[in-house]
Structure 1
Amino acid sequence: MYRIMLFPHDKDTSELRRALWAHRIGHRFTEEAEGQVLWLANPQQQDALMQLLVRWQRGESIMPERRVRPSSGASLAALRQAPVTATALGISLLVFASMYLLGDIVVAMLTIVPIAVVNGGLAFGSLTEALASGQIWRLLSPAFLHFGWMHLIFNMMWLWYFGRQVESLQGSGRMLLILLLSGIGANLAQYATGTVLFGGMSGVDFALLGYVWLMSRRAPGNGFFVPQMLVVFMLGWMLFTMTDMAAAVGFGNVANEAHLGGLIVGLALGWYYSGRARRQR
């Protein structure tokens, strides 16, 4: 974060805060001994921030005008700017729709090991045998399985939020690397517990959280930003689902090891690339 300006303790900055968020300028206010300090997340937005500050100090309106509904062209442009994230999102939606149309055959094709019904019960194959027979996709494919609307919506929301940020700042190659390593790492972590029927993009989401958070902390000049309360919420949620209380309120069937495995991969990558960014300064 970059220190921009100091305001007196009694200065009302609420309108400025709302306008900065409305203009999508990542920032933070902190209470210091000498007053309120405004910090900027991305130095490339400094000119836009200073223009708003000047207008605000003059008493002018600084809230953005009501936006016209985005055209389909603008939406397609946003997808083209984050092709890996958009592709992962599209595959997840396609798989979810296929599960409703084709049923369990889709699930059986994408679980980490082959599944079959034998004598009225489920029989599970071996991951080693599956890989030896060429079914390499099973290492990653469970990440695209979602078993309910809420499961799908929340995972896609965080995927789009973090993934688009990674692609816009560091390119599609970095996003693809995070997706592959964290997806496979999360799936193997969950499989190591003896679980076979699991799925979801949440392991990748937690990897992206860890990656973006470490980049914003250790290499703020790269422009990454994540609200601290979002970090607290997501980590708190992960810890909550590991407790018996989660099962008592209907959240017991959660791939906790996949969340943890993805987070560890994201933190490892974030530590490596943020360290490299610091050495290059």
Structure 2
Amino acid sequence: MYRVKQVEAGTDLAGFSRWLKEQNVRHRITEEDGGQVLWLENPDHAEPVLQALDRFLSEPELRAQVNELVDSPVFVSGRWQPQPRHAPLVLTLIIIAAFVAWFTGFGQNTLSTYLTMTDPRVHDFGTFAARVQALLATLGNGEIWRLLSPDFLHFSWMHIIFNSVMLWFLGSQIEWFDGRQRLLVLFIVVSVLSNGFQYLMSGPLFGGLSGVVYGILGYCWLSQRWRPRFQFPPALITFAVAWMALGYTPLSEILGLGRMANEAHLGGFLAGLALALILPVPKKAPPKGGA
């Protein structure tokens, strides 16, 4: 074993030790001369482990986050693996989307016209002015739900499965770490802005949770800069932006993917970034039990 550092006997290294185990770093902590000594099996790990240990000892907030992570019931072997009871709001949204997809025949029957931003059977949407007029008339009739309901329209199993997986993975982290109210605010604001942007640019014939997913991704990515707490691969943001850019080219239709709701993606992403800037980063620790 390779001796790395000796620290005071009263320092609690249990959380750091569990974190090292999650990183597959073989080590041992022993008592020596009234202190504690950290030993590593592989000396190549010494420099990064020493840097991590110094931060763990000197930054109380980071130490609390490490202890929360290793003690949290939603992390298994260091990976984010929540159960339904940990994110009931996200699960509810996914279930609603699944029922709507089933009852509307994936947007093929007349029930779907009650969920679009405006009813395409009633209103003209050929020009921007016509779309604005139709939306104002629709909202004036009290059909406020149409600002959110396009989120739950999906047009294939692949469409809803992809959106649900991404919403569960990212949305469940927001619900756990930042709270259910924060997630609800994100869902409402991002939905209204992404759906509104898409409708004004192209009309009511669109649907899906992808605008919300892009908003949540933008929020997680930017808010993470101020308080690291979310777990997702760094390449995800690169892939998402590249996919969004792809939607503005003919390639998606050439590949048989159909037309994408490009404005919903862009509007949702920008809304998520804006909310990350506007909303204060929560300071509270995540709950220890199931919600």
Q: Same fold (TM over 0.5)?
A: yes
The 2-side partners of 1:254 and 1:18 are apart by 43
The 2-side partners of 1:18 and 1:236 are apart by 35
Match of 2:205 in 1: 197
The reply to whether residue 209 of structure 1 matches residue 217 of structure 2 is: yes
Give the 5 Å matches for 1:103-182.
Answer: 103-116=108-121, 126-182=134-190
1:211-238, Cα deviation, whole Å (9 max, x unpaired):
0111111222xx2233211111111111
CA contact (8 A) 1:42 1:224 kept: no
Match of 2:267 in 1: 261
The reply to whether residue 229 of structure 1 matches residue 228 of structure 2 is: no
What amino acid is the match of 1:181?
V
Give the 5 Å matches for 1:4-23.
Answer: 19-20=22-23
User: Secondary structure of 1:218's partner?
Assistant: coil
Match of 1:121 in 2: none
User: Secondary structure of 1:130's partner?
Assistant: helix
Gapped runs of 5+ residues in structure 1? Answer: 7-15, 22-33, 52-62, 65-74, 119-123
What amino acid is the match of 1:226?
F
The 2-side partners of 1:135 and 1:141 are apart by 10
Max radius of gyration: which structure?
2
Q: 1:114/1:228 Cα in 2 relative to 1: closer, same or farther (>3 Å)?
A: same
Q: 1:258/1:35 Cα in 2 relative to 1: closer, same or farther (>3 Å)?
A: farther
What amino acid is the match of 2:48?
V
Q: 1:183/1:42 Cα in 2 relative to 1: closer, same or farther (>3 Å)?
A: farther
- The worse-fitting range, judged by mean Cα deviation, of 227-236 and 206-215 is 227-236
1:84-116, Cα deviation, whole Å (9 max, x unpaired):
211111110110111239951221110110132
TM, length-normalised to structure 1 = 0.69
Deviation at 1:273, TM superposition (A): 2.8
CA contact (8 A) 1:214 1:274 kept: no
The 2-side partners of 1:181 and 1:227 are apart by 25
CA contact (8 A) 2:175 2:182 kept: yes
The 2-side partners of 1:44 and 1:130 are apart by 50
- The worse-fitting range, judged by mean Cα deviation, of 265-274 and 95-104 is 95-104
**1:46 pairs with 66, 70, 92, which one?**
66
Greater share of helix residues, 1 or 2?
1
The 2-side partners of 1:182 and 1:80 are apart by 24
- Identity, % of aligned pairs? 35
The reply to whether residue 84 of structure 1 matches residue 89 of structure 2 is: yes
The 2-side partners of 1:195 and 1:137 are apart by 17
The 1-side partners of 2:204 and 2:135 are apart by 10
Q: 1:106/1:253 Cα in 2 relative to 1: closer, same or farther (>3 Å)?
A: same
The 2-side partners of 1:50 and 1:171 are apart by 19
CA contact (8 A) 2:173 2:230 kept: yes
User: Secondary structure of 1:254's partner?
Assistant: coil
Deviation at 1:128, TM superposition (A): 1.2
Q: 1:215/1:107 Cα in 2 relative to 1: closer, same or farther (>3 Å)?
A: same
The 1-side partners of 2:107 and 2:161 are apart by 21
The 2-side partners of 1:134 and 1:236 are apart by 38
Q: 1:252/1:17 Cα in 2 relative to 1: closer, same or farther (>3 Å)?
A: farther
Let me know the Cα RMSD of the aligned residues: 3.6
User: Secondary structure of 2:104's partner?
Assistant: helix
CA contact (8 A) 2:106 2:155 kept: no
The reply to whether residue 238 of structure 1 matches residue 258 of structure 2 is: no
User: Secondary structure of 2:191's partner?
Assistant: helix
Q: 1:217/1:103 Cα in 2 relative to 1: closer, same or farther (>3 Å)?
A: same
1:59-104, Cα deviation, whole Å (9 max, x unpaired):
xxxx96xxxxxxxxxx9x9323222211111110110111239951
What amino acid is the match of 2:270?
I
Gapped runs of 5+ residues in structure 2? Answer: 6-18, 25-44, 124-130, 284-291
The 2-side partners of 1:85 and 1:156 are apart by 9
TM, length-normalised to structure 2 = 0.66
Match of 1:25 in 2: none
What amino acid is the match of 2:235?
M
